[in-house]
Amino acid sequence: MTINAIVLGAGIVGVSTAIHLQRRGRQVTLIDRKDPGSETSFGNAGLIQREGVAPYGFPQQLGLLLRYALNNEIDAHYHLSALPSQLAFLARYWWNSNARRHAVITRAYAPLIENSVAEHKDLIEASQAQALIRKDGWMKIFRTEAARDEALAEAALWQTEFGVDYDSLTPADIARMEPDMTVRFAGGIRWRDPWSVLDPHALTLAYRRYFESLGGRFVTGDAASLGQFGAGWKIMTSEGALEAEDAVLALGPWAAVATRRLGYSFPLGIKRGYHMHYAAKGNAVLNNWILDAERGYLLAPMNRGIRLTTGAEFARLDAPKTPVQLDRAEAVAHRIFPLGERLDPEPWMGARPCTSDMMPVIGKAPRHQGLWFAFGHAHHGLTLGPVTGRVLAELITGETPLIDISAYSPQRFKP
């Protein structure tokens, strides 16, 4: 069977890319070894982060590095055995996070973020997924005045340069907005522009159904079987061999393995993360998505319960779960909000694919005709899925992309 395009990876990035290609007249088959949205896209904070113009950098301050070296924090944890294999990635990540270089990267990264809500809006309406969305922003709260003031100064700069809107919150504001909180915070920020998702997995499934309504197909298959076939590509699936003119690799944390098999070497690292859902005790209600900024965990009122998410774990992709950050976060979260029992049988774990310069890889493979890359979105995979899908589909079909995507080109790594 010959088709126009195959998209490998059915997370939010892959599903969005498949939609945009199908809309542009390509016959697309979406392929994954698991059901759509069941890996990295399943577990995240559920935020479409219009304010996230600056990618998460590597700490530069010596005191902070020494604190993390003790390996007892909520927002970062590492497996000592994984550090040798990640050392090159971490060194480049640290170097790119220098204030001057990070500012340059932020200006290149911001156009993707600036279009994140608008591109999700398009797909949300097309897939009739409005019931999964809230449009009232999210809160970042602080325990100390020093941290609050530093964050507010940064927010003011982002508002001036990138047009993000925010409110400064007093302790009284936080208490009014979250009357069941049991700790008085020093203040906070409410980002106005982001949207939140009540069930990220359900959103990916809604996009998948919309893709299929356009005539697209989903089948199971393994990216390891992808190979060149004449002027195109061939892959084995549950329905037999499929051939296509174009193949898109949107494989998230597995992109490093797949691209290495094809002769590429990208500086990709893995940040694993965990979540758990909780009931609330009694009649307590959590009204907002809330980041306890100085502790490094987030609480989100989702359809499945109150979701608690952790920071980054530096570990091998296939290493067993070590949810120590979740246990630490749970102990702290219990002290600020009356969390009840755990609702999931075990902690969920996923892996974020990260590049050393904190920007995704979007574009044509340097040495192969008809091969395209869309991975490396780190903490913003949910946020950037639809805009990535649009600009890559435009590139593949010969249109001028919505924004200049040269900064995200695979060529920048000379892989």
User: Kind of pairing, strands 47-48 and 227-229?
Assistant: unpaired
- What does the pLDDT look like over 93-128, one tens digit per residue? 999 999 999 999 999 999 999 999 999 999 999 999
- What does the pLDDT look like over 202-221, one tens digit per residue? 999 999 999 999 999 999 99
- What does the pLDDT look like over 19-71, one tens digit per residue? 999 999 999 999 999 999 999 999 999 999 999 999 999 999 888 888 889 99
DSSP element (H, E) containing 113 = helix 99-114
The pLDDT value recorded for residue 231 is 87
User: Kind of pairing, strands 297-302 and 227-229?
Assistant: unpaired
- What does the pLDDT look like over 288-318, one tens digit per residue? 999 999 999 999 999 999 999 999 999 999 9
- What does the pLDDT look like over 365-398, one tens digit per residue? 999 999 999 999 999 999 999 999 999 999 999 9
Whole-structure pTM value: 0.96
Asked whether the beta carbons of 15 and 39 are under 8 A apart, the reply is no
Asked whether the beta carbons of 200 and 45 are under 8 A apart, the reply is no
- What does the pLDDT look like over 236-255, one tens digit per residue? 999 999 999 999 999 999 99
For 114, what's the count of Cα atoms within 13 Å in the CB-facing half-sphere?
A: 14
DSSP element (H, E) containing 275 = strand 268-280
Cα–Cα distance for residue pair 16/386, rounded to 1 Å: 5
Instruction: Give the CA angle between residues 17, 348, 330 to the nearest 5°.
Output: 125
Q: Tell me the fold of 1-52+97-130+198-265+356-415.
A: FAD/NAD(P)-binding domain (3.50.50)
Beta-carbon contacts of residue 129 (< 8 Å; ≥ 6 apart): 123, 202, 203, 206, 207
Give the 3-state secondary structure of residue 349.
Answer: strand
Give the 3-state secondary structure of residue 344.
Answer: coil
Q: Could you give the residue ranges of the DSSP H alpha helices within 24-144?
A: 62-69, 83-96, 99-114, 116-126
Going by the DSSP 8-state scheme, the letter that residue 377 receives in this structure is B
Give me 104's structure tokens: 């340059």
The pLDDT value recorded for residue 3 is 76
In this structure, which amino acid lies at residue 215?
G
Using CB atoms within 10 A of its CB, is residue 339 exposed (0-12), middle (13-18) or buried (19+)? Answer: buried
Average pLDDT over residues 141-158: 97
In this structure, which amino acid lies at residue 106?
T
The pLDDT value recorded for residue 63 is 87
Asked whether the beta carbons of 367 and 352 are under 8 A apart, the reply is no
Task: Give the pLDDT band of residue 1 (cuts 50, 70, 90).
Answer: low
Measured in whole angstroms, how far is the alpha carbon of residue 381 from the centre of its chain? 3
The pLDDT value recorded for residue 415 is 65
Using CB atoms within 10 A of its CB, is residue 231 exposed (0-12), middle (13-18) or buried (19+)? Answer: exposed
Mean pLDDT score across all residues of the chain = 96
Beta-carbon contacts of residue 214 (< 8 Å; ≥ 6 apart): 19, 22, 23
